Amino acid sequence: MNTETPTSATGTDDRSWPVLKAALTEPCDGCNPITGRPCTLGHHSGYHRDSSGTEWLDE
């Protein structure tokens, strides 16, 4: 029985879970109410996030 972990050409584990990312196809029109920086998440629900990592909710 083969007990080795299958790896891809890049050397990563082929059995790992896929990484989920926000769908950035549509821009988010939210801006941080304190700094004015735009949200970088694209179309989403819930908290907004700007380039500094600050999160906020619409009021």
pLDDT tens digit sequence for 8-38:
566 666 677 777 665 557 889 999 999 999 9
- 51 secondary structure, DSSP code: T
- Residue 46 has what pLDDT? 92
- Residue 11 has what pLDDT? 63
**Rg (alpha carbons) of the chain, rounded to whole number:** 18
Contact (Cβ atoms closer than 8 angstroms) between residue 55 and residue 47: yes
Q: Is the pLDDT of residue 59 over 70?
A: yes
Give the mean model confidence (pLDDT) for residues 45-58. Answer: 93
Does an H or E element contain 7, and which? none
Report yes or no on whether pTM surpasses 0.85: no
Give the mean model confidence (pLDDT) for residues 1-8. Answer: 56
